[in-house]
Structure 1
Amino acid sequence: MIEMGEISITHDDFFHLARLAIAGQEDDVRLFVAKMVRRHRTDTPDFADRLEQLLKNQRNARSSTPLRRSSFDPAPQQSMPVDGETRLSLFRRYEDQVEQLEPLLSASLQQSFMQLIRERQQIQRLSELGLHPTRSAIFLGPPGVGKTLTARWLAAQLQVPLLVLDLTTVMSSLLGKTGANLRSALEFAKQTPSVLLLDEIDAIAKRRSDDSDVGELKRLVAVMLQEVDDWPASGLLLAATNHPELIDPALWRRFDLVLEFKLPETKQIKQSIERFAGDESLLIGRWLDVLSYAFQGASFSDIERTLQRFRRTLALGGPRLDELVEDFLRTRMPELNKEQRKAFAVLLAEKTKLSQRSISEITGLARDTIRKQGALPIQADTSGGKK
């Protein structure tokens, strides 16, 4: 306990404040002082008033400086950390413009990200209330659902670069070493105005069962636990995983926010088809409802890959779009159960000019089964077969 007149401050409080000050984490110092004001408002109001006046004076000085630093203002350029053996950069760096990116987010995810952006825009207001903005978030979801794209968009919204640290790549050079690469990468990100994304963070948890070097892996997990706890409010730490069940529970609890990215629903699928169709949007748009149904259970990257293939084939004078779509629909049928294929047959009859024979070939259903669906008219079969 440190005595200052009638005021007592614990050694832990003093150490924490000293650590933040030495590290140059100005916003976190302000947050800590604001918490002290609230803590001592009742027992030592004079002391609380003096601290509050310090905060007000410092805030006025910041606002009167034309080029005052925000939480994400540029800092002196530092050299990107590299692997000691390969000399390759430990980061992938993205510097995007907001208009270049527009992730297709669900309503709940959109709301969460707008809240996160508002917190960053009003970090001063939060500081005055003794609060800090969300410092860390973990993205859950299968591959291809937009986790990295959203991180890039978020960094662009905050007008800072995105630094991506791929742990599956970095870990191979870390095993058997002291973890210096990981520490230097995290320290660089803490001191650089940026958003840091730890991609495939479950790589640490996956490898913990590896008997070759369990001790080293445990030390790396301990580093991660400490870093997430101490991440400055002036920065934003993101992590992404396809396997949340593999993440160490202690690490899981450290993140301020958990955001789940799911496979796209019908509305998002239609939006992605329209976006990825590009110059062929009118042509592909005739198949919009059919493709939207067929893409159920697919990721955004699956949809983009298929439509890019369509566009390349059309550009080179290959088969007609109708043939490309029909071939693609056949590949999707194994993903559907019988009831889903029946519903799909109805959709094909209502939205296309395909014959019953073609619908039968695509869905694998007998034509009698298709006719019994009721929504199907008796069509003339242009392929030459019986109705």
Structure 2
Amino acid sequence: MQVNQDDIVALIEAALDANYSDVRAASNRIAKSISSDDLECAKKIKSILRKKGVPLQSSGYIDSLPVDSKSRAPLLEETQWPVTPLVLNQESQNVFQTFLSDVINVDELISHGLSGRLNFLLSGPPGTGKSLVAGHIAAQLNRPLYTVRLDSVISSLLGDTAKNIRQIFDFIPKRNGVLFLDEVDAVAKLRDDRHELGELKRVVNTLIQGLDSLDDHAVVIAATNHSGLLDPAIWRRFPYKIDFSVPDLEMRKELWKHFLFVDGGEESMILMLAKISDGLSGGDIESLSLAVRRKSVLTKSDVNMASVVEATMNSALGNTATPEGGELSTFKKKKIATILYKSYGVAQVDLAKILSTSRQTISGYLRE
């Protein structure tokens, strides 16, 4: 397990200075550096940062984030870098890597007259990895990730909403951070929407002006579940785009490997789960996997594959079923065996492993 000595020194200095932001930044870098060797330790560090953030601030250091003038609520929050790996298809991976390369080499591009907005738009259903992409970009660039808090930005006084947006775009260049506008459709709707008030249209104009005010080094990432609601002028200001869909077969295999089969699993089992989870998001697969592993830990037993399969079959996009604990009924086992055998071509020997029974019993289920 390799930890950069500079990060350790930076962490100690920030702690002695009660510097909340630098403590988090150094801790995030340490968590990232050890995640490939010790994922559980990296997750513990992230968990501590989430729990201890408020006490750190109350100890005397106040991070000077912009705030709403009325409520005094922060308009941004600094978000930890993720330790969960990023699984993308080939097309999305290409856009991701191209964007990172352009950001890293922006000065060279500027010198050749090839500069442009470093704005990245992520669209698609919930649970497909949009926030994860934003976190990985910030981590790869070694920059803090500032996520806009829409509950603070959108004021009951619409004039204040525009002011809040201006504050955010004045703040970001000073910190060399990555600005993440999650659910951007809340403040970037079509300006020709007849149901919206004129003041809301001015909010969109303020957002556009804020994007245009940033220099060539600024990085802005926006995410939306409803891309059709965005004003065309917003689309034009985001030259890099990924439109997420549910993961394909190879991506689902990688997701099951990471979240369920931590210590490795049989390829046939991984492939079977990847097939039956067609239509589910990465977030759905993560939820199912962690739910089953929690039951395994609390019951001090191996992962119940029959329970995983049944819950996956009963899940839909954004609505996962809760895996059962203990032995499944004979009726449920027969149903699972029949579906897996007839619809997915799962071999009888694998069905016996999944349902913790004999091949002879499986043959009987299929004859019936």
Q: Scaled by the length of structure 2, what TM-score is found?
A: 0.67
Instruction: Measure the CA separation in 2 of the matches of 1:384 and 1:229.
Output: 65
Q: Does 1:102 align with 2:85?
A: yes
Report the secondary structure of 1:305's partner residue. helix
**Greater mean alpha carbon deviation, residues 108-117 or residues 273-282:** 273-282
Instruction: Measure the CA separation in 2 of the matches of 1:215 and 1:301.
Output: 37
Instruction: Measure the CA separation in 1 of the matches of 2:285 and 2:139.
Output: 25
**Greater mean alpha carbon deviation, residues 145-154 or residues 186-195:** 186-195
Unaligned stretches of 5+ residues in structure 1: 1-76, 336-340, 359-377
Deviation at 1:287, TM superposition (A): 2.3
Unaligned stretches of 5+ residues in structure 2: 1-61, 320-338
Equivalent position of 1:136 in the other structure:
119
Equivalent position of 2:280 in the other structure:
298
Report the secondary structure of 1:352's partner residue. helix
Equivalent position of 2:343 in the other structure:
345
Equivalent position of 2:141 in the other structure:
158
Instruction: Measure the CA separation in 1 of the matches of 2:242 and 2:123.
Output: 6
2:259–2:286 contact (8 Å) kept in structure 1: yes
Aligned length: 282
Equivalent position of 1:272 in the other structure:
255
Deviation at 1:87, TM superposition (A): 2.2
Amino acid in structure 2 at the alignment position of 1:194:
G
Equivalences for residues 67-78 of structure 1 within 5 A: none
Q: Does 1:196 align with 2:179?
A: yes
Q: 1:328 to 1:285 in 2, by over 3 A?
A: farther
Instruction: Measure the CA separation in 1 of the matches of 2:74 and 2:172.
Output: 13
Equivalences for residues 1-387 of structure 1 within 5 A: 79-96=64-81, 100-167=83-150, 170-173=153-156, 175=158, 177=160, 179-205=162-188, 209=193, 214-277=197-260, 279=262, 281-282=264-265, 287-317=269-299, 321-332=304-315, 345-349=343-347, 352-354=350-352, 381=362, 387=368
**Greater mean alpha carbon deviation, residues 322-331 or residues 135-144:** 322-331
Structure whose alpha-carbon radius of gyration is higher: 1
Q: 1:133 to 1:385 in 2, by over 3 A?
A: closer
Q: Scaled by the length of structure 1, what TM-score is found?
A: 0.64
Report the secondary structure of 2:154's partner residue. helix
1:179-221 CA-partner distances (Å, limit 9, x unpaired)? 211110121113320111111111135596585x712211111
Amino acid in structure 2 at the alignment position of 1:223:
T
Q: 1:344 to 1:108 in 2, by over 3 A?
A: farther
Report the secondary structure of 1:177's partner residue. helix
1:177–1:216 contact (8 Å) kept in structure 2: no
